[in-house]
Amino acid sequence: MNRQSFYFFDIDENMLHLPTKVHLLNTLTGEEQTMTQRKFEDIRAYLGMPGEWEDWTAQPERAFREFADGKDRNGEEYLWRDIGRALEAGDDGWKGPSWDIFRYAVLRRRPIAIITARQHSEATIKSGVRMLAEAGHIPEEPDYLAVFGVSNPAVKAALGAHLTTAGLKRAAIRRCVELGLQRFGRDLPHSFGMSDDDPKNVDLIISAMLECKLDYPDKRFFVISTNRRRHVKLEVFPPQKEEAKLKAAVEDYYG
Residues 92/86, Cβ–Cβ less than 8 Å: no
Instruction: Write the CATH number for 106.
Output: 3.40.50
Same domain, 174 and 51: no
Claim to verify: residue 227 and residue 105 sit in the same structural domain: yes
Q: Are 168 and 160 in contact (CB under 8 A)?
A: yes
My answer on whether 139 and 108 are in the same domain is yes
Q: How remote is the C-alpha of 63 from its chain's centroid?
A: 19
Are 50 and 118 within one domain? no
Q: How sure is the predictor about 233, in pLDDT bands with cuts at 50, 70 and 90?
A: confident
The 8-class DSSP code of residue 107 comes to H
Supply the mean pLDDT for the chain: 90
State the pLDDT at residue 246.
46
Per-residue pLDDT at 254? 46
Q: Are residues 123 and 181 in the same domain?
A: yes
Give per-residue pLDDT as tens, 46-62.
999 999 999 999 998 89
Please give the pLDDT value at position 248. 46
Burial class (CB in 10 A: 0-12, 13-18, 19+), 195: buried
239: pLDDT strictly greater than 80: no
Helix 78-88 crosses helix 122-134 at what angle (to 10 degrees)?
20
Question: What is the domain extent for residue 37?
Answer: 21-90
Q: Which of 35, 69, 90 lies at the terminal end of a domain, its last residue?
A: 90
At 165-213, the pLDDT tens digits run: 888 988 999 999 999 999 999 999 999 999 887 777 788 888 999 999 9
Q: Are residues 134 and 227 in the same domain?
A: yes
- Domain-embedded: residue 255: no
Last residue of a domain, one of 58, 74, 90: 90
For the stretch 54-82, what's the b/e string if a residue is b when 16 or more beta carbons lie within 10 angstroms of its beta carbon?
eebebeeeebbbbbbbeeeeeeebbbbbb
Q: Which pLDDT score, from 0 to 100, does residue 250 have?
A: 41
pLDDT, mean of residues 61-76: 95
Taking every pair of Cα atoms in the chain, the longest distance, rounded to a whole number of angstroms, is: 62
Q: What is the mean pLDDT of residues 82-107?
A: 93
Q: What is the DSSP string of 182-210?
A: HHH-SSS--EEEEEES-HHHHHHHHHHHH
Q: Is residue 244 predicted with pLDDT exceeding 50?
A: no
Whether residue 252 has pLDDT greater than 80: no
Q: Please count the structural domains in the chain.
A: 2
Mean pLDDT of 202-225: 91
pLDDT of residue 69: 97
pLDDT > 90 fraction of the chain, expressed in percent and rounded: 75
One domain for residues 221 and 139: yes
One domain for residues 150 and 214? yes
pLDDT at 65: 96
Same domain membership, residue 122 and residue 141: yes
Condensed to tens digits (0 to 9), the pLDDT of residues 129-172 reads 999 999 999 999 999 999 999 999 999 999 998 998 888 988 99
Band (pLDDT 50/70/90 cuts) for residue 2 is: confident
3-class secondary structure, 46: helix
